[in-house]
Amino acid sequence: MNAFPWTVGCACLALAAFAASNAAAQQPYPSRTVRYVVPYPPGGSTDPMARMVAARLTERWGQSVLVDNRPGGNTVIGMDFLAKSPPDGYTIGWAGAALFSTATLIPNLPYDAIRDLTGVATIGRSRVVLVLHPSVPARNLKELIAFAKARPGQLNFASSGLGTNTHLSGESFNIVAGTKIVHIPYKGSGPATTDLLGGRVEMSFQIPITVIPMIATGKLRPMAVTGATRLAAMPQVPTFAEAGLPGYGITGITAMVAPAKTPRAAIDRINNEMAAILAMPSTLEFLAKQGAEPFVSSPDETSAIIKQEIARYGAIIKAAGVKFQP
């Protein structure tokens, strides 16, 4: 008789546990629902692209990819949740201007964007269009700059929030054009656009999809769009270089990130799928309507781009003297 029967039982349990974990490790990724964290409320300007990505991945994988909106704290709430999620490939997240700017703008963040997150894929480049309320008499960019210089501190621009692409585009404009247009932050592009349409602010640097319908009906007057070429959705609107302000323009980058130490196999799988999705005609059509263009990068390139964008946004924040306002 075995003097230590418990050792046999423990060994069997250990072998069973090892076999179960090994079997789980052998399962193809993904084998269950993937959570896609978006640090904004539903219905904002980032939501359509996030839901398009989730739907395309769900179609290709046969596994649900669910958008998890976690707004608040200049996106810090959602990004902190993402950074502290298990690094197993089943929690991924949105990354864009707010991630790049908060690294400099907000002191004592509960996470480090470079240390605690890793790049998965880039998704798109988004333009910014400068639009005016029709009450502003300027008919082109040169007239607007002259009008603003003659009224330092008297004109306002609306943004979707402190540190957003629409905010820092305005701060960068002030630096390059030599104007002093006052920033008015709102809680999202919706409220900002409402006040712009009502004439309570004179102008805004907006994501094209937000204002294309208002431009088409004459409710807003476009001045110029960022980027090297005109936007297909607004071919009548010149680039800033064409309009007389070369060297200006922030092109927003949308990317996907995951918690640091997420298995490379999962990251590579997502990256390959995103490259295929961004080549689909339906995706290209969708992005064009959003005023965006596809942007394909490897995981390592995505991580490098995030570092570059954090440095670039940080430089604008410091040059403009932007301060965090809790």
pLDDT in tens, 199-242: 999 999 998 888 999 999 999 999 999 988 998 888 999 999 99
Between CA 248 and CA 19 the distance in angstroms is 59
Q: Which of 24-33, 53-62, 100-109, 116-125 has the lowest mean pLDDT?
A: 24-33
Q: Which of 83-87, 196-200, 277-281, 319-323 has the lowest mean pLDDT?
A: 319-323
pLDDT of residue 19: 45
Q: What residues contact residue 249 under an 8 Å CB cut-off, 6+ apart?
A: 128, 169, 172, 226, 227, 239, 240
% the chain with pLDDT above 70? 92
pLDDT in tens, 72-99: 888 999 999 999 999 999 999 999 988 9
Rounded to whole angstroms, what are the CA distances from 118 to 41, 109, 123, 238?
A: 23, 17, 15, 36
Between CA 306 and CA 302 the distance in angstroms is 6
Mean pLDDT for the chain overall:
90
pTM of the shown model = 0.83
pLDDT of residue 15: 52
- Alpha-carbon torsion, ordered 274, 104, 207, 82, to 10 deg: 40
Between CA 73 and CA 163 the distance in angstroms is 12
pLDDT in tens, 141-191: 999 999 999 999 999 999 988 888 899 999 999 999 999 999 999 888 888
pLDDT of residue 73: 86
pLDDT of residue 258: 98
Angle between helical axes of 281-290 and 208-216 (0-180°, round to 10)? 70
pLDDT of residue 87: 98
pLDDT of residue 288: 85
Between CA 90 and CA 29 the distance in angstroms is 9
% the chain with pLDDT above 90? 73
Give residue 39's pLDDT band: very low, low, confident or very high (50, 70, 90). very high
**Helices and strands of the chain, counted as H and E runs:** 11, 11
Q: Which of 5-9, 109-113, 221-225, 269-273 has the lowest mean pLDDT?
A: 5-9
pLDDT of residue 252: 86
pLDDT of residue 106: 92
pLDDT of residue 24: 44
Please determine, for residue 25, whether its predicted confidence score (pLDDT) is greater than 90. Answer: no
Domains and CATH numbers, the chain: 34-123+253-320 (3.40.190.150), 129-225 (3.40.190.10)
Q: What residues contact residue 223 under an 8 Å CB cut-off, 6+ apart?
A: 129, 130, 131, 132, 138, 140, 141, 144, 237, 243
